[in-house]
Structure 1
Amino acid sequence: MNLLICARCGARTDVPVVDPDGPVVCCADCGHRQPFLRLPVYCVTGPSGTGKSTVARLLAPWLADRYVLLEQDVLWLAGLRDPADDHRLFRSAWLRMIAMIHQSGRPAVLCGTVAPPEFEPLPERALFSEIRYLSLVCDPDVLAERLRNRPAWRQWDEPRIAEMLEYAAWIDENAERLSPPLSLLDTTTAPVESTAAAVYTWITGEDRPPARPV
């Protein structure tokens, strides 16, 4: 269900008007009030090389019956690459997609590199009760080595690695000052299973994930 198209008159908007007490989306053309599920989004973020994709694979069997787990890069298409506008089209596309997924009754966990300043100002942010952010982080020397060891098709040359290290330093410096703040989880020496279990606890509030099938 596309919440940006009125179910009564078919009018389309890029700026949804949301009454959070409903919650309902209000059509500016005909006044129709469409009830919808306004759920939270859980963003597992951080610089490339900190372990997001690996953790996501381990989370999937633990979360599949209650959450929808998504990999951000799957929508990184030519038509959505708009760096002049801080990739706004790409970010908006994700929020619109997640809002539709939420109407199935399960909140989304989005794994990818994103920070609050890239989601919070967007008009689609009104479609969610909250967006929570957990950033995986790593020692810069270890992070650089992980990126150098990636397959050649991923094109991690030294200038690109330096750019990612700058982004990692920005996260470390600004995490607590962002709105909402970024929670941090260090993956430098932690076994990946432990990291995945910690992310599971952050998402669900439960002490530990269920046992994996033998």
Structure 2
Amino acid sequence: MNLLICERCGERADRPQVEPEAVIRCVHCGHRWPFLRLPLFCVTGPSGTGKSTVQRLLATELADRFVVLEQDVLWVAGLRDDGAEHRPFRSTWLRMAAMIHQSRRPVVLCGTVVPPEFEQLPERALFERIDYLCLTCDADVLAKRLRDRPRWREWDEPRIAETLEFAAWIDANAATMDPPMTLLDTTDVPAETTARAVRDWLAERRP
């Protein structure tokens, strides 16, 4: 179900028109229809903090309750732009997650994102709320993880320094963002332990 296409007239909207009580209104013919407005769960954090590993560990384990997805799978040329917020990429993910929600399973989206990149988008109205769990890591350990990555990922020193700066910014601002992000330190923690903590965080919030 594409929530931007009217189920009656078939016209498409550029942005969803969401009314109270989880109802979408067509801007072309005025038709109104209900939809499932579930929360979206974002497991985020700087590169190297363990998001992809957590996604692989939880995708099968949580398959009966959640749809666990890797954000970078849509990081393709057609969705990239020159803006810092990558709006086409972010909007596409929100539309995809909202459509999956109509199957009654909430989405866990694993990938780097901070609240200002999602909360200001028109598609944000399709969700009851967005919860953010941000994986963090000690700077020295994070730098080593990035240096140890395969060459094709192109982690040179300037890029590593930029990521460490971003990580420090997250640590300083996570609690004051709107909504705030919950931090989870993955320094010297086995991947299975991190996955268990993420699973517990989801269990507390699942509708």
With normalisation by structure 2, the TM-score equals 0.96
Structure 2 equivalent of residue 104 of structure 1: 103
Tell me if structure 2 keeps the 8 A contact 1:140–1:165: yes
The one-letter code of the counterpart of 2:45 is: G
1:129-175 Cα offsets, whole Å, 9 max, x none, are 11000000000111000000001111101111111111101100110
| Aligned AA (2:4) | L
Task: Show structure 1 runs of 5+ residues with no match.
Answer: 207-214
In the other structure, the counterpart of 1:29 is 28
Tell me, in whole angstroms, the C-alpha distance in 2 between the residues paired with 1:183 and 1:107: 19
* Cα deviation, residue 61, structure 1: 2.5
Report the equivalent of 2:187. Answer: 188
Work out the CA distance in 1 between the residues paired with 2:124 and 2:84.
Answer: 17
Structure 1 segment 124-143 matched on structure 2, within 5 A: 124-143=123-142
Query: How much has 1:198 moved relative to structure 2?
Result: 0.4
Could you report, residue by residue, the CA deviation over 1:2-55 in whole angstroms, capped at 9, with x for unpaired residues?
Answer: 00111111221122111231x111112211011111111100000000001111
Q: Is the 8 A contact 1:14 1:123 kept in 2?
A: no
Superposition map of 1:1-214 within 5 A:
1-21=1-21, 23-84=22-83, 86-205=85-204
What's the Cα RMSD here? 1.1
Distance 2:190 2:46 in 1: 18
Q: Counterpart of 1:17 in structure 2: which amino acid?
A: Q
Structure 1 residue 192: Cα displacement:
1.3
List runs of 5+ in structure 2 lacking aligned partners.
Answer: none
Q: How does the TM-score come out when normalised to structure 1?
A: 0.93
How far apart are the structure 2 equivalents of 1:132 and 1:117?
A: 13
**Which whole-Å CA distance do the structure 1 matches of 2:137 and 2:173 have between them?**
15
The offset of 1:85, in angstroms, is 5.6
Q: 1:28 and 1:81 mapped to 2: Cα distance?
A: 28
Aligned positions, number: 205
